[in-house]
């Protein structure tokens, strides 16, 4: 079968005029009617029916664009009301006839184009992908993550990426879209919205219905090169664009016998850029040259783009719509695994530091000579130590930090970050063996800060005896050991009832753990984790909208003692998959002459996965029953 005149070789090429104009602009040639063989006609008819049936169904946009990922079954799973009583026939390119199509669903013939993007930042490319899918904002979708092979933790992906670009051939055989009109959610969807903040019910809703509703899609195929420029690259955007064009021209060359690549193959050009080849639609045969792959697109079309509207945009006046909107926003932003969404939402409570700043003394303070202190040299300033215990009650600790308090910022203290309340799936009880216990210490753990003749730090790791014990309090202590003072860390533990350990404790800390002032710290750090030479650190991506996202402001005169104390916040939050870590241990460290903290965290679960799956099945059963009763009334 000769399809040369169906898919002509002269592809119209269009580039975005500038980084500001990022909308996809196409100059294309409409596809003429296709003449299919009988078997290809049946395949296309089936694909077209599935595509039309997906309109109005729910979708989770944290995953890639695939028709098989639509929510619900093929029949009767639409989330919006569509009049299916009186349908009409539509004729797709190639003479494909589809009957009983709702009148509100329209189909159009497509186009073919060669498109090359500008070299854009991570946020700009994310915004462009979202615009193509009629989404708003810059939070990356699952489609972007799949095409550029990102991890899904977009803060880290953005920090490790300098620029992005792509160049490809896009073939749209036909488009299917819902006619623009007043959309109304089905009654069973509205009734399934939880009226309160119920993490289990909210997770079931999202897993059952998704986050958005499909209102349009494009069927056909695409052959694209996606290029990532690493954060440490010094290449200019013009050079990146030049390399991309050279690679694309070579791949899309019409020379017979030109090399081909698989549908998903990574090609590493050099240390600065990474090129990823992706194909959708057409044959997935390995090493198919581009010109041969073109001939298979109409035989095996696939979805190459979708358009969505948020489910929450149709929930005006529905009780609990605000809770659902917040849960979906958290899910889209941090993308925890869907099977762990219930646990993730349980932990999305306000977090605060203890002691809160209103509890810190603002007026005349007690005389500092009554406080315990450390001294690191003969003529050096004293570092006073606040030995008051910090107790957060029965609430999980999610982070900790060292902090310099006082008018002169010369008093060392420890702060704990904790959830504002206890998640409903947990019950905490005091650990009788973990109440700021005074453990014996090994002299091998005593490390000098500067001189062996002055104050030392005990770097022994502190962990609970029980597997299900978590930190709920901390205290700094100074003990006289011979002729010098030694700084100790004490922890208070509480036991979690009715829970299981999902992930064993892991030690976290600053990246420079290989450079220690003492041998014991080096040995311990290698015992707890494998220390590798870190890559060049990328610039941080700040997503915290707080007034001081990096912690409370430090006075200008503080650097005098900051050279002895690392005040970096040690914590794991929702951005650290799966997003519900709790602190289970900690230890003091001496790193390059500075006192620092390192902490141990773990993941515990208060609800068995089987119970959650059973609840999901109950929800589906209830919804099916609701549909049946509604049909009887009608």
Q: What is the pLDDT of residues 134-161, one digit of tens each?
A: 999 999 999 999 999 998 888 889 999 9
pLDDT of residue 532: 41
Q: Each residue of 388-419: pLDDT tens digit?
A: 999 999 899 999 999 998 888 889 999 999 99
**Most confident listed range (8-17, 336-345, 560-569):** 336-345
Pick the closest to residue 120 from 243, 237, 268 (CA basis): 237
Q: DSSP 3-state assignment of 195?
A: coil
Which percentage of the chain shows pLDDT scores above 70?
Answer: 74
pLDDT at 559 (0 to 100): 58
What is the band of 37 on the pLDDT scale with cuts at 50, 70, 90? very low
Which percentage of the chain shows pLDDT scores above 90?
50
List phi, psi (to 5°) of 147: -65, -40
- The answer to whether residue 619 scores a pLDDT higher than 80 is no
Q: Is the pLDDT of residue 97 over 90?
A: no
pTM: 0.81
pLDDT tens sequence across 548-600:
665 666 554 445 888 899 999 999 999 888 899 999 999 999 988 899 999 99
Give me the pLDDT at residue 255, please: 55
Q: What is the mean pLDDT of the segment spanning 340-353?
A: 94
Alpha carbon separation from 368 to 374, 409, 412, 558, 603 (Å, rounded): 12, 12, 12, 17, 40
Q: Please give the pLDDT value at position 620.
A: 47
Residue 401: how many other CB atoms lie within 10 Å = 20
Query: pLDDT confidence of 129, banded at 50, 70, 90?
Result: very high
DSSP letter (8 states) at residue 69:
G
Q: In this predicted model, which residue has the larger pLDDT, 482 or 68?
A: 68
Q: Can you tell me the distance from the alpha carbon of 274 to that of 195, in angstroms, rounded to the nearest whole number?
A: 47
Q: How many CA atoms lie within 13 A of 458 on its CB side?
A: 23
Q: State the residue for tokens 């009608």.
A: 634
Q: What is the band of 332 on the pLDDT scale with cuts at 50, 70, 90?
A: very high
pLDDT at 83: 82
Q: What pLDDT digit, counting tens, does each position of 462-495 carry?
A: 998 888 899 999 999 998 877 788 999 999 999 9
**pLDDT, greater one: 586 or 22:** 586
- pLDDT for the residue numbered 25: 34
Q: Which of 304, 341, 390 is nearest to 199 (CA)?
A: 341
Q: Specify burial of residue 204 (Cβ count, 10 A radius: 0-12, 13-18, 19+).
A: buried
In this structure, what are the phi and psi dihedrals at residue 249, rounded to the nearest 5 degrees?
Answer: -60, -35
And the tokens for 545?
């909208």
**pLDDT of res. 536:** 52
**DSSP label at 565?**
B
The answer on pLDDT for 98 being more than 90 is no
SS3 call for 78: coil
Q: What is the pLDDT of residue 122?
A: 96
State the pLDDT at residue 223: 95
**In this structure, what token pair is assigned to residue 203?**
């997770």
Average pLDDT over residues 259-276: 66
Assign 353 a pLDDT band (cuts: 50, 70, 90): very high
Contacts of 293 (CB under 8 A, 6+ apart): 221, 223, 260, 279, 282, 283
Assess whether pLDDT exceeds 90 at residue 29. no
579/577 Cα distance (integer angstroms): 5
Round the CA-based radius of gyration of the chain to a whole number and report it: 30
**pLDDT tier at 211 (50, 70, 90 boundaries)?**
very high
* 429-463 confidence digits (pLDDT tens): 887 766 766 555 677 888 888 888 888 999 999 99
Q: Rounded CA gap, 142 and 63, in Å?
A: 4
Establish whether the linkage from the previous residue to 104 is cis, with ω within 30° of 0.
Answer: no
> Residue 522: which H helix or E strand, with range?
helix 519-528
Residue 171: Cβ-neighbour burial (10 angstroms; 0-12, 13-18, 19+): buried
* Of 121-135, 282-296, 513-527, 564-578, minimum mean pLDDT range: 513-527
């Amino acid at each position: 079968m000769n399809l040369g005149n169906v898919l002509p070789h002269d592809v119209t090429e269009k580039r975005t005029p500038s980084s500001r104009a990022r909308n996809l602009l196409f100059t294309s040639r409409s596809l003429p009617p296709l003449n299919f063989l009988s078997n290809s006609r049946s395949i296309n008819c089936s694909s077209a029916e599935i595509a039309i049936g997906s309109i109005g169904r729910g979708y989770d946009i944290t995953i890639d664009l695939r028709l098989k990922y639509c929510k619900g079954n093929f029949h009767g799973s639409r989330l919006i009301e569509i009049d299916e009583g009186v349908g009409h026939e539509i004729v797709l390119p190639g003479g494909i006839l589809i009957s009983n199509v709702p009148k509100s669903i329209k189909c159009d013939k497509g186009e073919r184009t060669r498109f090359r993007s500008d070299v854009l930042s991570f946020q700009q490319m994310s915004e462009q992908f979202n615009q193509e899918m009629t989404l708003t904002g810059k939070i990356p979708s699952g489609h972007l993550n799949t095409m550029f092979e990102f991890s899904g933790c977009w803060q880290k992906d953005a920090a490790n990426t300098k620029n992005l670009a792509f160049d490809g051939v896009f073939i749209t055989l036909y488009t299917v879209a819902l006619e623009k009109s007043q959309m109304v959610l089905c009654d069973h969807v509205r009734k399934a919205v939880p009226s309160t903040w119920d993490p289990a019910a909210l997770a079931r809703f999202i897993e059952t219905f998704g986050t958005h509703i499909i209102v349009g899609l494009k069927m056909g195929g695409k052959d694209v090169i996606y290029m990532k420029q690493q954060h440490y690259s010094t290449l200019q955007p013009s050079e990146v664009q030049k390399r991309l064009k050279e690679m694309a021209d070579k791949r899309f060359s019409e020379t017979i016998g030109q090399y081909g690549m698989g549908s998903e193959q990574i090609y590493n050009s050099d240390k600065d850029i990474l090129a990823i080849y992706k194909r959708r639609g057409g044959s997935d045969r390995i090493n198919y040259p581009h010109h041969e792959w073109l001939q298979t697109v109409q035989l095996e079309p696939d979805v190459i783009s979708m358009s969505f509207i948020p489910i929450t945009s149709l929930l005006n006046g529905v009780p609990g719509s605000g809770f659902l909107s917040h849960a979906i926003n958290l899910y889209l932003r941090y993308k925890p695994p869907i099977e762990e969404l219930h646990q993730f939402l349980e932990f999305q409570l306000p977090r605060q530091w203890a002691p809160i700043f209103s509890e810190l003394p603002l007026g005349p303070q007690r005389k500092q000579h009554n406080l315990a202190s450390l001294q690191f040299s003969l003529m050096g300033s004293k570092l006073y130590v606040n030995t008051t215990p910090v107790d957060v009650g029965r609430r999980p600790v999610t982070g900790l930090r060292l902090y310099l308090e006082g008018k002169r910022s010369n008093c060392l203290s420890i702060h704990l970050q904790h959830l504002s309340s206890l998640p409903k799936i947990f019950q905490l009880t005091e650990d009788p063996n973990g109440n700021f216990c005074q453990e014996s210490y090994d002299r091998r753990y005593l490390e000098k800060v500067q001189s062996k003749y002055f104050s030392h730090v005990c770097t022994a790791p502190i962990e609970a005896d029980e597997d299900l014990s978590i930190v709920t309090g901390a205290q700094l202590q100074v003990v006289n050991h011979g002729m010098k003072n030694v700084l100790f860390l004490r922890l208070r533990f509480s036991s979690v009832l009715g829970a299981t350990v999902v992930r064993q404790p892991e030690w976290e800390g600053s990246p420079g753990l290989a450079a220690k002032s003492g041998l014991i710290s080096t040995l311990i750090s290698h015992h707890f984790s494998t220390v590798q030479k870190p890559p060049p650190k990328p610039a941080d991506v700040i997503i915290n909208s707080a007034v001081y996202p990096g912690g409370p402001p430090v006075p200008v005169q503080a650097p005098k003692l900051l050279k002895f104390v690392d005040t970096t916040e040690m914590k794991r939050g929702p951005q650290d998959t799966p997003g519900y870590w709790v602190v289970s241990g900690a230890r003091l460290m001496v790193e390059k002459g500075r006192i620092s903290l390192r902490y141990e965290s773990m993941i515990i679960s208060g609800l068995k996965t089987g119970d959650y799956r059973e609840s999901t099945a109950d929800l589906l059963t209830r919804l099916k029953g609701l549909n049946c009763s509604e049909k009887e009334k009608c």
